Structure 1
């Protein structure tokens, strides 16, 4: 049974890596409307350090953190996240998931099934859907309609020459590449504006680069070039729509912490109202389905 939220919902954090330390923990610790109930991690010493820095407590037992929380945020590799999200939902905790929910359709379906069975709320943190400038832009473009073409280039340099990014040590990113790491960002914009994906074509490029061509339910088509291996000089992210209103370019955004705080608000609202958020576990499942088909088509 889903937990009832009090005046200040208790939200715990699963994960202690760079994304958790730089985004999730600061957002939870600084959110005036919630109580940051604690941190659990696969490395106890890292959980202790992050909890101390965030003014909360560390838990050695994840089930104890579930017991002490009304909701949990997960900042873990996708295929570690999914089974823990299932356990959290079974404990009645509402879940704030990271993208992608999982890298297999089977695991993503287990998450959606557990969420539905427990009656808990879910939100998937796709940054562009919660960062104020981009979230507003997406809503306005969806309301306007008339788009026939989308074009995106998301060129990360995580594995480019000279990269010193803390995220480069992530085994799942190294294995799955830009398709799974930055592909969800592009799809999180395309789907609400152009409609569900009805057809996928994908071919490999250099290193982890993947080129996608998508057909959408609206009749529109879109393209996306995705990589984590671009030279730093070529890195950048752009997305443009073309239609009866001309061309519209996705605005720049800043502040993942602020965007994550907005996702926390969205989860709390969904839990209190019972109204599913558009970017919930079912949406996360759809992203995994599309990316799985793209991976298959590219022969990865």
Structure 2
């Protein structure tokens, strides 16, 4: 019998990425599926050959680990409930919409010796990780430049109906992907300056601990002809373009499962664990505060908290 998993969430991502990978993994037993809509939970559980649960705490009680495919304002509370029950965590990015929940999650996981992985999709492709290892060993980087312009609100896009993406925009949805490949090379962010722009874009400058500077632009509502996904490093070695991942999302999630299993067997620690996920949230909170206040925000001073949700 493999590690017993519960899947929380019933949307497109839960079905096509997390659920597909969990159901196919040879070292996982997908015990059940829970969702905020019981009918959708029943449908997805049937599709995956698993069992629907009406009570999320009952599912948490029956498993060793949870995979969560829910909006970040919902994910945080459920992840805390699972961690307090002693369950390992495989979370989506961002782990929460504020530092209060992110800090609580880190404290719970570390105090209980639990495994944790946050799924930054491209960080689970070998070509991206090899690029980051090489770039880090080279050193001498002065900064990064990136444009992540998506256009998800066009007809037929599976993510366009997501209320949290409409509210929080590209900063919180694609921003984590950007930070997940920049932070390992440039190091921790100390301060952020951000501006809001046309089509719900956010433009930010990041100053990193060793003096490097990042310049980033993100949106989910770009003009269809203006889509772009490019991340470049520059410095003494010249210019380097960060590659896209060489795995599909479901294949990458299978690697994330592998890395959680390794930790669950006693080898705790992962480059994309909850502490790293928390540090990404801290940068996003600082950027949001900067755009709102019109001033530079030191990441250590960011105080954002998760909004109250209605379920």
TM-score band by shorter chain is: over 0.9
In the alignment of these two chains, the number of paired residues is: 292
In the alignment, is residue 285 of structure 1 matched against residue 273 of structure 2?
no
Tell me what 1:117 maps to. Answer: 111
1:37-75 deviation per Cα after TM superposition (whole angstroms, max 9, x unaligned): 211111111111111111111111112211221111000
In the alignment, is residue 150 of structure 1 matched against residue 144 of structure 2?
yes
SS at match of 1:273: coil
Tell me what 1:250 maps to. Answer: 242
Deviation at 1:135, TM superposition (A): 2.5
Deviation at 1:136, TM superposition (A): 2.4
1:160-202 deviation per Cα after TM superposition (whole angstroms, max 9, x unaligned): xx44312111111110000000000011111111100011111
Pick the aligned partner of 2:36 from 28, 36, 42.
Answer: 42
Aligned-residue Cα RMSD (Å) equals 1.4
Pick the aligned partner of 2:167 from 170, 175, 188.
Answer: 175
In structure 2, distance between residues paired with 1:275 and 1:217: 26
In structure 2, distance between residues paired with 1:120 and 1:59: 24
In structure 2, distance between residues paired with 1:232 and 1:136: 32
In structure 2, distance between residues paired with 1:73 and 1:135: 23
- After alignment, is 134-143 or 149-158 more displaced? 134-143
1:62-121 deviation per Cα after TM superposition (whole angstroms, max 9, x unaligned): 122112211110001101100100110111110001100111111211222222233211
Tell me what 2:177 maps to. Answer: 185
Give the gaps of 5 or more residues in structure 2: 294-311
SS at match of 1:251: coil
Deviation at 1:245, TM superposition (A): 1.9
SS at match of 2:58: helix
Tell me what 1:52 maps to. Answer: 46
Q: TM-score, with normalisation over the residues of structure 2?
A: 0.90
SS at match of 1:124: strand
Q: TM-score, with normalisation over the residues of structure 1?
A: 0.93
Tell me what 2:305 maps to. Answer: none
Structure 2 counterparts to residues 1-300 of structure 1, below 5 A: 8-159=2-153, 162-253=154-245, 254-299=247-292
In structure 2, distance between residues paired with 1:216 and 1:242: 14
Task: Evaluate the alpha carbon distance shift between residue 139 and residue 163 of structure 1 in structure 2; reply closer, same or farther with a 3 A threshold.
Answer: farther
Native 8 Å contact 1:13 1:73 kept in 2 = yes
